[in-house]
Chain A
Amino acid sequence: MGQTSNTLAAENSNVETKYVLSPVTDRVAKIREKYRTARPSICIARYKIVTEFYRENPQLQGILKRAENFRNICEKLPVLINEDEVIVGWQATQYRACALYPEISFGWFLDELAAGSIPKRDVDPYDIDEKDAGYILETGDFWRKECLSAKVDAYIPLGYFDAAGSGVTYFSSKNTCTSPVGHFVANFDKAIHKGFAAIKAEAKSKMDELEGVLFGDSVAEYNFYRAVTIVCDGMITLSKRYAAECARLAAKETDPERKKELEKMADCLSWIMENPCRTFQDALQCMFLYQIGLCLDGQQHGISFGRVDQYLGSYYEADIAAGRITHEKAQELLDLFYLKVAEMNKIWPYFATLSGPGYTSGQLMTIGGVTKDGKDATNAVSFMMLQSAGRLVLHDPPQSLRIHKGTPRELWEAAIETTQIAGGVPTFENDDVIIPALMDRGLPIESARNYCLIGCVEPQGCGDEWACPGGNGTESFFNLLGAFLLAINNGTNPMPGPDGKLGGQVGLPTGYLYEMGTFDEVLEATKKQMEYFVNWHVSLVNTWEYIASRHMQLPLLSATVDGCLESGKDVMNGGAKYNSTGNAGIAIGNIADSLAVVKYMIYDRKLVSARELYDAIISNWEGREELRQFILNEAPHYGNDSEYTDRFAKWASDVYGDAVNAATGPRSRYAAGLYPVTAHVLFGMMTAASPDGRKAGEPLSDGISPVQQMDKKGPTATLKSVSSIDQRKFSNGTLLNMKFHPTALRNETGKSKLIALIQTYFALGGMEMQFNIVSGKVLRQAQEKPGEYRDLVVRIAGFSAYFVELYKASQDDIIKRTELNL
């Protein structure tokens, strides 16, 4: 491990706790080192198989194409078993390599590849073999029109060509979708306890019932079942090919211990997938290989694991009771599983990398909470999961800890201990707010209690809901500040486009700030503009879904998700038992401050005329530094437990949330959220100066946090302020990031106080909270000497990452966030 984690460990060494991190085994340490030193690369194996399949099978369309494509991958993709591995499965042919998914969107990749920029990126570079690059450039143009993004582009509503470029929604009028729908969780319980042979048999019997009587809509149903049988075959085939490879390696292995281990792996892999799992190792391997299958089919993008401790707990206990495994051995298996998940990554467009850096794949795991009947769900595996993250100092996979009134003290303490080492892991989630919020959106109580977190912070029924929390693709983000700026600028974006020219009338003509006689008029204009753009945003997401549900069905996922086999529909077509579509508002802090500043400066204190303030922001504060400083220092700001500003955070979030929650998609209603991942940095670059003193291009505020450095009264005041938002309304998740110095938790009382801080926030109605526990000084040192801080994990919004791998603007943003020093 690098210097930083040692430094952190040293700082924490005087911590007395019942929860102790035990050292990892030698081979785990070896794999971890390999993980931290291997440079990610691009593997074209999947690309080749899929490209050939698509070119040879234009006659196949829709769900059968997706199913056959998956089975074909399972039959042909080389199986890779690395040295020392026990949990196996991979999407590529080299260690830490990423596979390619041309079916979704490929133009950006071809362009970056042709430019030769991919290995030279300043953030998330990937190596690629020259011959492989040549092959892709020769064959890739096929995908420019075949990929989903191109198909969506063809269906963009005509009116949107005027509304695009507003800086409010994420969509443009072409190349709109660089990512798949992602953001889902399978029903792992079914894969583990039932197996794919039984699932296939169920689908087959449904087919038999329909055979020869395909009346009405039943052709679609019939072919859905047919697709399920195909992907079940694929999944079983993949597992058996891994089993065969283990047997082959076992036969030539000279170390008797490893030989035995490989034989056991072969036995496990030839049994699982087809049959119900027997042991802890079976269940763990089944979970991971199914996940690999889901990624091979749907591309990894916020594909989450759900309630891992709930799947594995009973297997662990049975194995321990029967003497089949020791605790240490089980922990090592879990470590190895974590390292496999950590190894996974996907290449993003450079532009999107700025928003989601750090080779992250968002395969969130959920710990703790309550069971379906409301009892505490903590088990031995809950602790083991925290142990793995802590002792491996891993930022990926991310983990969320569900908190309820009966969460055991030991689990609290283990979580605080872990977050101290692997900053931001786990996040803390409040059952008392999330369960009712999910019931509000239609889940029955048992299902709501069984929720897990998806992607970044999005709550969803575990295995029975298609909540689409990323809003189809990555396009869930909505810039509240952008809507406000258009509202006071007659519906035009004050920020020039990349060509340096100002855009035209993209929003409603709501007038100019200096024409508004009262503050109520400002609010009215903001509300109109916000609702107008929410409606456009929903229109675009629905358009996306209209196309995706015809071309990118997810039969492998639908094979387990509750409701699909019953209804004969895949998840993309409304087959899941429960449905919704997510959205995520950003810049709450900026819009609250901007509204408060406008009210305070123009209408209440009359310190400046509306025309003066308008001119100041349109000119990006040129020559108005004095005014800007006055606003930063003297005007009211959200985050200080003051009603004057906090009511605008509530007002703006209500307007946005109510509009989103009232919208409908083809399957069901929409669900609002308030989290940015790092879109607040990206959107900030596209957002003009704002009345709160922010200059054009600067990052927006993060999640529901106050504007950076504007929370001047400490964390309790911040928490009171953010509690003014009606968080239950945001069932797609809220995000609050707080940063503490490591000194904050130096002793037991420090830890108890942090626990009490979270508990109070949750009692006040807070939904989610996460921490960075590092000092600003350490972060600045890390910027200067990245080599010495390889292991420094920080939490950026929805996920944790290695600090030194972040884009400079994200690094600066993290440093800038007010440090909460104790």
Chain B
Amino acid sequence: MQKEITGKVYDIQGFSVQDGPGIRTTVFMKGCPMRCPWCHSPESQEFHTQLLWMSMKCAGLDLCTKCLDACAKGAISPGRIKENAATQEAVRHIHIDRATCDNCGDCAEVCYRNALYMCGTDYTVEDLLDRVLKDKPFYEQSGGGVTISGGEPLSQPEFVLRLLERLKECGVHTAVDTTGYAKYDIVKMILPHTDLFLYDLKHMDSRRHKIMTGVPNELILENAQKIAEDGGKIQIRIPIIPDFNDSAGSIRETGAFCQSLGEAVTVIQLLPYHNLGVMKYERIDDSRLVLETAPPSDGKINSLKALLENMGLPVTVH
């Protein structure tokens, strides 16, 4: 018997109202080919299930050593004494040696406070469908539906295709939130079942794109053009990252590209950089250089919005 397809999901968010029309549920697929330093969901990047640790929920080693005792690999050891942000009490934290840890989940299993927890759950299409269809009355009333986001959903193409097919069979509006970094064959396959693409455009200069995200942009731009040609609907999303793409020149170039896509573009969403995700890097002990800067000012965002609107493009800010 053929093994049932599963997809790795790291979060499911109900009453998601900024990822397409109406009230939606957004399914976040785990794993992404890009490594954007402003990413506010670093736990979405790896394709495997990961151990996460939220210091605020941890009782500290003086009160509880369950994880230490549970770890057969010896990957958890006493860490520094630090203040717990919730209780403001100094407690001895744990230290996770990520090189030794194989994400087996034994420690998360015994952690009754959920300070240690596993990120990434394997769902079958039908199980996930059951879960998201619970909110169908809200989709119907509001003209909403389901958005598949990530990570990068197109990196789990078989699962996502099947899920989209099933959603359409159930009469649910579908959106796919993508970086566009995938073979066009994959995009073409899901296109008939995708009512709307939420499509990220980060920079028009491929060299700069690669320096920041780890991949060049040619494939992304090409795919956008092909989606437009093949009749797909696209909502463009531009993250506004200070000193990366927030110059008038950069945004004008992106605007020009959007113009070239013609009728396919329903709206351009500006997503101003925010630093609320910075704290999440600690949870996966990720010491990579994280972009930590001040969010762009309202004035800046409004001027970029006006710039695109003057080009005749519909713009919203989120």
A: residues with CB less than 8 A from B are 625-627, 629-630, 633-634, 641, 713-717, 719-720, 744, 747, 749-750, 752-753, 756-757, 759-760, 763-764, 820, 822
- Interface flag for B113 (CB, 8 Å): yes
Q: How far is the CB of A139 from chain B (nearest CB, A)?
A: 53
Complex Cα–Cα for A752 and B141 (A): 10
Does residue B293 face the partner (Cβ distance < 8 Å to A)?
no
Q: Which of B113, B134, B143, B316 contacts A720 (CB 8 A)?
A: B134
Contact A714:B137 (CB < 8 A) given known A633-B112, A756-B142, A822-B18? no
- Is B137 a contact partner of A822 (Cβ separation < 8 A)? no
Distance, CA A760 to CA B316, complexed state (A): 26
CB within 8 Å for A753 and B22 given contacts A716-B15, A747-B316: yes
Distance (Å) between the CB of B136 and the closest chain A CB?
A: 10
Interface pair A714/B13, CB less than 8 Å apart: yes
B residues less than 8 Å from A641 (CB atoms): 134
**Secondary structure call for the B interface:** loop
Establish whether residues B14 and A714, one from each chain, have CB atoms under 8 Å apart when the complex forms: yes
B137's closest neighbor in chain A, by CB? A760
| B113 with A752: CB separation less than 8 A | no
- A-B contact list, 7 entries, CB within 8 Å: A626-B64, A633-B112, A749-B17, A753-B22, A753-B23, A756-B22, A822-B17
Which listed residue (B15, B63, B113, B143) contacts A714, Cβ 8 A?
A: B15
Interchain CA distance A715-B24 in the complex, whole Å:
12
| Complex: A744 Cα to B15 Cα, angstroms | 11
Instruction: Tell me, in angstroms, the Cα distance from A750 to B318 when the chains sit together.
Output: 11
Q: Is the CB of A752 within 8 A of B14?
A: no
CB proximity of B218 to chain A, nearest CB, Å = 34
B135 is an interface residue with CB less than 8 A from chain A: yes
List chain B residues, Cβ under 8 A from A716.
Answer: 14-15, 23, 25, 135, 138
Check A629/B113 contact, CB under 8 A, given A716-B135, A757-B142, A763-B137: yes
Report how far A612 CA is from B23 CA in the complex, Å.
44
Residues of B within 8 A of A714 (CB): 13-15
Q: Are A760 and B138 within 8 A (Cβ)? A: yes
> Once bound together, how far apart are the Cα atoms of A764 and B25, in whole Å?
18
Looking at the assembled complex, report how far the CB atom of B30 sits from the nearest CB atom of chain A, in whole angstroms. Answer: 19
**Chain B residues closer than 8 Å to A763, beta-carbon distance:** 137, 141
Chain A residue with the shortest CB-CB distance to B117: A633
With the chains together, A641 CA to B134 CA distance in Å?
Answer: 8
In the bound assembly, the distance between CA atoms of A747 and B64 in angstroms comes to 47
Question: In the docked arrangement, what's the CA distance between A719 and B134, Å?
Answer: 11
How does the 8 Å CB contact mask read for B13-39 relative to A, with 1 for contact and 0 for none? 111011001110100000000000000
The answer to whether B112 touches A764, judged by C-beta atoms less than 8 angstroms apart, is: no
A629-B112, A716-B135, A717-B134 known; A759+B14 contact, CB < 8 A: no
Alpha-carbon distance between A763 and B135 when the two chains are bound, in angstroms: 13
Extra 18 A-B pairs, beta carbons < 8 Å, given A716-B138, A717-B14, A717-B135? A625-B63, A626-B64, A626-B112, A634-B114, A714-B14, A715-B14, A716-B14, A717-B134, A744-B17, A749-B21, A753-B17, A756-B22, A756-B138, A757-B138, A759-B141, A760-B137, A760-B142, A822-B17
How many angstroms from the CA of A747 to the CA of B25 in the assembled complex? 20
Contact B113 A750 (CB under 8 A): no
Count chain B CB atoms within 10 A of each CB in A630, A714, A759 and give the residue with the most: A714
Contact partner, A630, options B112, B135, B137, Cβ 8 Å: B112
A427 to chain B minimum Cβ distance, whole angstroms, is: 20
Shortest distance from the beta carbon of B119 to any chain A beta carbon, whole Å: 15
A717 CA to B143 CA, complexed, in Å: 18
CA distance A549 to B15 in the complex (A): 50
Give residues 288-318 of B contacting A (CB, 8 Å): 316
Minimum distance in angstroms from B47 CB to a CB of chain A: 25
CA distance A752 to B63 in the complex (A): 48
Q: Which residue of A lies closest to B298 (CB)?
A: A14
Q: Which residue from chain A places its CB closest to the CB of B25 in the assembled complex? A: A716
Which of A633, A641, A756 has the most CB atoms of chain B within a 10 A radius of its CB? Answer: A756
Contact of B15 among A625, A633, A747, A757 (CB under 8 A): A757
Taken together as a complex, chains A and B put the C-alpha atoms of A760 and B15 apart, in Å, by 12
Instruction: Determine which of A633, A757, A820, A822 lies in contact with B113 in the assembled complex, contact meaning CB atoms within 8 Å.
Output: A633
Assembled-state Cα–Cα distance A430/B114 (Å)? 39
Q: Which of A630, A634, A720, A753 has the most CB atoms of chain B within a 10 A radius of its CB?
A: A753
Per-position contact with A for B93-129: 1 when CB-CB < 8 Å, else 0? Answer: 0000000000000000000111000000000000000
Q: Which 5 A-B pairs have the closest CB atoms?
A: A756-B142, A714-B14, A630-B112, A760-B141, A633-B114
Partner of A634, one of B18, B21, B112, B143: B112
A601 nearest CB across to chain B (Å):
12
- Closest beta carbon of chain A to B141's beta carbon, Å: 4
Distance (whole angstroms) from the CB of A353 to the closest CB of chain B:
31
Q: Which residues of A contact B142 (CB under 8 A)?
A: 752-753, 756-757, 760
| CB-nearest residue of chain B to A753 | B17
A715 CB contacts on chain B under 8 angstroms: 14-15
Return chain B residues, CB-CB under 8 Å to A629.
59, 112-113
A719, B138: Cα distance in complex, Å: 10
Q: With contacts A716-B23, A716-B138, A760-B138 known, is A820 near B64, CB below 8 A?
A: no
Complex Cα gap A745–B292 (Å)? 28
Q: Which residues of B contact A720 (CB under 8 A)?
A: 134-135
Point out the residues of chain A lying under 8 angstroms from B17, CB to CB: 744, 749-750, 753, 822
Cα separation A757 to B141 with both chains bound (whole Å): 8
The docked-state distance in angstroms from the alpha carbon of A625 to that of B87 is 15
A627: chain B residues at CB < 8 Å are 112
Please give, as numbers and ranges, the residues of chain B lying within 8 Å of A626 by CB-CB distance. 64, 112
Query: Nearest Cβ distance between residue B235 and chain A, in whole angstroms?
Result: 12
Alpha-carbon distance A261/B22, docked complex (angstroms): 51
Query: Which residues of chain B from 185 to 206 have any CB-CB distance to chain A below 8 Å in the complex?
Result: none
Picked from B13, B18, B23, the residue with its CB within 8 Å of the CB of A757 is B23
A757 contacts which chain B residues (CB < 8 A)? Answer: 15, 23, 138, 142
- Chain B residues within 8 Å of A625, by CB: 59, 63
Distance in Å from the Cβ of A607 to the closest Cβ of chain B? 11
Q: Which residues of B contact A747 (CB under 8 A)?
A: 316
Distance (Å) between the CB of A176 and the closest chain B CB? 42
A309→B256 CA distance, assembly (Å)? 53
A413 and B57 CA atoms in complex are apart in Å by 41
Q: Which residues of A contact B21 (CB under 8 A)?
A: 749
CA distance A231 to B64 in the complex (A): 72
CA distance A48 to B23 in the complex (A): 60
Interface residues of B in 137-185 (CB under 8 A from A): 137-138, 140-144
B114 contacts across to A, CB distance below 8 A: 633-634
Chain B residues within 8 Å of A753, by CB = 17, 22-23, 142, 144
A716 and B146 CA atoms in complex are apart in Å by 13
Distance to closest chain A CB from B298 (angstroms):
10
Candidates B13, B22, B137, B316; contact of A764 at CB < 8 Å: B137
Residue of B nearest to A759 (CB): B141
- List residues of chain B with CB within 8 A of the CB of A822: 15, 17-18
B316–A756 contact, CB under 8 A? no
Q: How far is the CA of A714 from the CA of B135 in the complex (A)?
A: 11
- The interface residues of chain B lying within 8 Å CB-to-CB of A630 are 112
Residues of A close to B144: CB separation below 8 A: 753, 756
Find chain A residues with CB under 8 A from B135 CB: 716-717, 720
Minimum Cβ distance to chain B for residue A344 (Å) = 38
* B73-100 interface bits toward A, Cβ cutoff 8 Å, 1 = contact, 0 = none: 0000000000000000000000000000
Is A713 within 8 A of B14, CB to CB? yes
Complex: A146 Cα to B313 Cα, angstroms = 77
Task: Give CA–CA (A662, B15) in the complex, Å.
Answer: 39
Q: Complex: how many Å from CA A749 to CA B135?
A: 19
Chain A residues with CB under 8 Å of B138's CB are 716, 719, 756-757, 760
Indicate whether A756 sits within 8 Å of B112 (C-beta atoms), given known contacts A713-B14, A714-B14, A822-B18. no
CA distance A465 to B14 in the complex (A): 42
Report the Cα distance A749→B64, complex, angstroms.
Answer: 47
Chain B residues lying within 8 Å of A719, measured Cβ to Cβ, are 138
Most B CB contacts (10 A, CB to CB) among A715, A744, A752, A760 go to: A760
Alpha-carbon gap, A714 to B138, bound state (A): 13
